[in-house]
Chain A
Amino acid sequence: MSRPEDTLPPDLFYNDSEAQKYTTSSRIQSIQASMTQRCLELLQLPGPSFILDIGCGSGLSGEILDEAGHVWVGMDISASMLAVAIDRDTTGDLLLADMGQGVPFRAGTFDAAVSVSAVQWLCNAESSDVSPQGRLSRFFDGLYASLKRGGKAVLQFYPKNELQRTMITGAAVKAGFGAGLLEDDPETKNRKVYLVLTVGSGGELS
């Protein structure tokens, strides 16, 4: 099976019909739900929190955040996916935005961030004037700043290979995060990789 990242940029890949297909597939719905639940489990939030959902798509993950009593803001580059989210009456605020251009929130906005199956897209540069490294660093620098001290992010992603995994993790560390990679069901076809990021609670943010 070919990886969607290898065919088209995300705003073109997730056109109206792909967005509809993606959202109505019960297999995808249940995988997304369980991965979002896993993200929440790893975040261990003490109470109702303000959460950024990166690559929120049609709001499948947001629904889980909502059920858990959190308030979320979602960013996605696909207008078609967001249109499906509107049709599904999601409760989160939706932003048409490219995570590779940064995270447009003031410092210390969010308690936490989650992302399900999105950040590997950062490794695709769609034009010659942007590099994957540049997009990764703008994203992780912006994410780091947008989280409060002691804030956490759990990003599930599908690394294409060892290089991508290293590139993504390296960019997060360079932005200042404490980072760890967690693998569920390693060595199986259901293998899931989670990048668990923490913003130190010390004095590095003033």
Chain B
Amino acid sequence: MKVLTTNYITCAVKACKSSSAAFPLHFKDAELVQEELELNSDFIRNVLPRIEWPALVTTAVELGFTTLPSTKPAPEQLDEKMLQDLHTLLVETQVTEGKLVCGNCGHEYNIHQGIANFLLPNHLGINLPTPFV
């Protein structure tokens, strides 16, 4: 799973949708690979406004990347180097094994061979009258 995707994915448990503790999901025992992919500058420019920057900083630190600026670069700051750095982190850095853990309900989503398992037992997937804890 790309770092990009982890900035958008949420806990699948209904009751967590409205909880701020549920985002971002947190990595546990993550194994990383870097896959070299061609830089797509227009794509980076397109998604950057939709990136939740504080969540990205949190995720990056969890994965051992501590050099990310603390605020989101403005469009005019997107020079070749900044685009390449963002591409490397968001698109090329991928978690192949490990877990994503919800900070609200504690549900652990397994990642195996890069595939995250978001299947829920039926009782969690449906709209329950009382929040699941």
Contact = CB atoms under 8 A, between A and B. Distances in A.
Interface stretch (B26-34, B58-66, B73-81, B108-116): B108-116
Interface string A88-106: 0001011111101110111
B67 to A, nearest CB: 23
A86 B113 contact: yes
Contacts of B43: 47-50, 69-71
A104 B120 CA distance: 11
Nearest to A101: B125
Interface stretch (A116-124, A127-135, A165-173): A127-135
Contact of A50 (B12, B47, B125): B47
A192 interface: no
Contacts of B115: 79, 82, 86, 94-96
Contacts of B118: 75, 95-97, 104
B46 A49 contact: yes
A106 B10 contact: yes
B46 A47 contact: yes
Contacts of A79: 115
A110 to B, nearest CB: 8
Interface in B23-42: 23, 37, 40, 42
B5 interface: yes
Contact of B91 (A49, A71, A86, A138): A71
Contacts of A47: 42-43, 46
Q: How many A residues touch the partner, as a band?
A: 35 or more
A198 B11 CA distance: 25
B94 to A, nearest CB: 8
A109 to B, nearest CB: 4
A94 B12 CA distance: 15
Contacts of A49: 43, 46
Contacts of A73: 5, 8
B2 interface: yes
B79 to A, nearest CB: 19
Contacts of A71: 4, 40, 43, 47, 91
A101 B120 contact: yes
Contact of B10 (A83, A104, A130): A104
A130 B126 contact: yes
A98 B50 contact: no
A75 B50 CA distance: 21
Contacts of B71: none
8 contacts: A48-B40, A77-B119, A93-B4, A97-B118, A98-B119, A104-B10, A105-B9, A127-B122
Which 8 A-B residue pairs are closest in the complex by CB-CB distance? A101-B125, A48-B43, A97-B118, A104-B12, A109-B8, A93-B5, A96-B117, A48-B42
Given A48-B40, A77-B119, 8 more contacts: A47-B42, A49-B46, A71-B43, A86-B115, A95-B116, A96-B118, A106-B8, A109-B8
